[in-house]
A = this chain, B = another copy of it.
Amino acid sequence: MEDKKFSILLVEDEENLQEALKLNLELEGFEVSTSGDGAVALKMVAQEYFDLIILDVMLPEVDGITVCETIRLSNNDVPILILSAKTNSADRVLGLKKGADDYLAKPFNLEELLLRVKKLIKKSERISQRQPLENVFTFGENKIDFKASEATNKLNEHIILTKKELMLLKLLIENKNEVVTREKILQSVWGYNVYPTTRTIDNFILNFRKYFESDSRNPRYFHSARGVGYKFTD
């Protein structure tokens, strides 16, 4: 059965790099559209559906970060991968804060790019067609039952999860292996116009670590990403 090709929008102004990337992505079986300019890219995104957007930061007209921010503000969850010449982490943090799903510093290894592209495409698939989450999720010796709102850890302790705990767990696990920004957490667990102190989020993570980690000082599942948010890994 003829699978539908996944479509990628590549936004990069340096022509050589654009062509090289396009070629490589097409070899991997993706359908690639390109733009060398942020403003044009935004129009394309508004008109057409893409499974993934690769954004250079340095762009004529509108820079990549702004493009990313604009897309997110229009309530579009398409996966976004940002490329940047800057290696410093402040830039990376900014990108993630503005809603990018991943961030890669130039110069990068082609293999690594392709790997991340595939990961994000998978995410796109998950968003667009699959049931969000199973009822029961297992990691390590821990088990979370979302429908029953309870969990069991390695010590066979029976934990009753509260509403917020459940929501946050769900959010983190839905985005496993990706950093979820504090902003996103606030938005999806607490709603748009409530702003509890950031301490609040910490406390929930704290509890999760108590419930599920053997050594809460060296977490295996609930990692913090300084300045950005938290990440769940299995």
Q: List chain A positions with a Cβ less than 8 A from chain B.
A: 49, 75-78, 87-90, 92-93, 96-97, 102-103, 124, 127-129, 131-132, 145, 147-149, 162-163, 177-179, 225-228, 231
CA of A147 to CA of B49, assembled, Å = 26
The answer to whether B90 and A179 have CB atoms under 8 Å apart is no
From A51, which residue of chain B is reached at the shortest CB distance?
Answer: B89
Measured CB to CB, the nearest residue on chain B to A102 is B129
- Copies of chain A in the complex: 2
By the criterion CB–CB under 8 Å, are A129 and B76 in contact? no
- The complex places the Cα of A5 from the Cα of B219 at a distance, in Å, of 54
Q: Contacts of A162 on B, CB cut-off 8 Å?
A: 226-227
| Residue of chain B at shortest CB distance from A109 | B4
- Are A89 and B76 neighbours in the complex by a CB distance under 8 Å? yes
Can you offer 29 A-B residue contacts whose CB atoms are under 8 A? Answer: A49-B87, A75-B88, A75-B90, A76-B88, A76-B89, A76-B90, A77-B89, A78-B89, A89-B124, A92-B127, A92-B128, A93-B127, A93-B132, A96-B132, A97-B132, A102-B129, A103-B128, A147-B177, A147-B179, A148-B177, A148-B178, A148-B231, A149-B179, A149-B228, A149-B231, A162-B226, A163-B225, A163-B226, A163-B228
What residues on B are CB-neighbors of A148 within 8 Å? 177-179, 231
Chain B residues with Cβ below 8 Å from A132 are: 93, 96-97
Closest chain-B Cβ to A153's Cβ sits at a distance in Å of: 18
B89 in contact with A127 (CB, 8 Å): yes
